Amino acid sequence: MKKNQILLAAALICASSLSAQEKEYPEPEAMTPGMTEFWTPQPKVVTPGDIKTNTAPSDAIVLFDGKDLSKWQNSKGEAADWIVKNGIMTVDKSKGDILTRQKFGSFQLHIEWCVPSDIQGESQARGNSGIFLQDMYEVQILDCYKNETYMNGMTGSIYKQTPPLVNAMRKPGEWNVYDIIYTAPVFKEDGTYLYPPFVTVIQNGIVLQNHTQIRGTTEYIGHPQVRKHGDGPIRLQMHGDPSKAISFRNIWIRPM
Ligand code: MG
């Protein structure tokens, strides 16, 4: 009898250790794009006043003067091959992103962009592009003129992080002006931020981002990631949506 009790106890211990080994825990739910898209409250619409085109000051590096793309390359390091015509450059949707050949730390960037007057599409599939600061953090470009989308993906958002303070869009066919003041991050040895990046974004003379802290990379799916990096190029996005391509002009930068 006693022997049977010992055997039973041993069997129970064995069974419980087996069940502990075999216990299954749920995996985190897979992230989908919609999990990081927030639609309300929509920033209010502000109609910009008239501003003159701000040509490059004497100490600026001119990145595009309307003539050629010599300061730019594609993602493979080859010559940039978007379309240059009549003093503007237009995204070639068959060619991918373009990046400056030069890398930058902190800077003041001036860039003008225009959505075609006959643009079609809605939400993110309407005049989408973007400016990746140091090739890491996207300031969104989108046609948000009477086109609603998730607020943290609007024009002037830090993509999927911080919505713009207001909607300062001009109509399709009119030129928009961005002035972006960017402070590069400083990293600790372990790859986390000692000082995170900050950005101020002004569109058509109206503040959209006021010294906004950037929390990490601007991911389409998932949360921002902190990845150690040094100086980086300015990347302009070729977005694969089917709407007509946007154009750029008068791009200059002042490293700080
Ligand atoms: Mg974009």
Measured in Å, residue 81 CA sits from the centre of ligand 1 at 19
Quick one: DSSP state of residue 106? S
pLDDT surpassing 50 at residue 19: yes
Distance 197 CA to ligand 1 centre (A): 19
Q: What is the mean pLDDT of residues 30-35?
A: 94
Statement: residue 9 has pLDDT above 60: no
Strands 107-114 and 83-85: unpaired
Q: What is the average pLDDT across 117-132?
A: 97
Domain range annotation of the chain: 58-255
Instruction: Please give the distance, rounded to the nearest whole angstrom, from the Cα atom of residue 195 to the centre of ligand 1.
Output: 25
Question: Does residue 183 carry a pLDDT above 50?
Answer: yes
17 C-alpha to ligand 1 centroid (Å): 52
Ligand 1 center to 97 CA (angstroms): 11
Cis ω before 116 (30° cut-off from 0): no
* Residues 148/42, Cβ–Cβ less than 8 Å: yes
- How sure is the predictor about 17, in pLDDT bands with cuts at 50, 70 and 90? low
> What's the CA-to-centroid distance between 128 and ligand 1, angstroms?
5
Contact call for residues 110 and 251 (beta carbons, < 8 A): yes
Cα separations in angstroms, 133 against 1, 182, 192, 212, 222: 77, 8, 18, 13, 19
What is the rounded distance in angstroms from the CA atom of residue 55 to the CA atom of residue 87?
13
Pair 85, 235: CB distance under 8 Å: no
Whole-number Å distance, alpha carbon 51 to ligand 1 midpoint, is 25
> In the CATH hierarchy, which top-level class contains the domain 58-255?
mainly beta
Q: What is the pLDDT of residues 48-77, one digit of tens each?
A: 998 877 899 999 999 999 999 999 999 999
Q: What is the mean pLDDT of residues 145-171?
A: 98
**Which pTM does this prediction carry?**
0.88
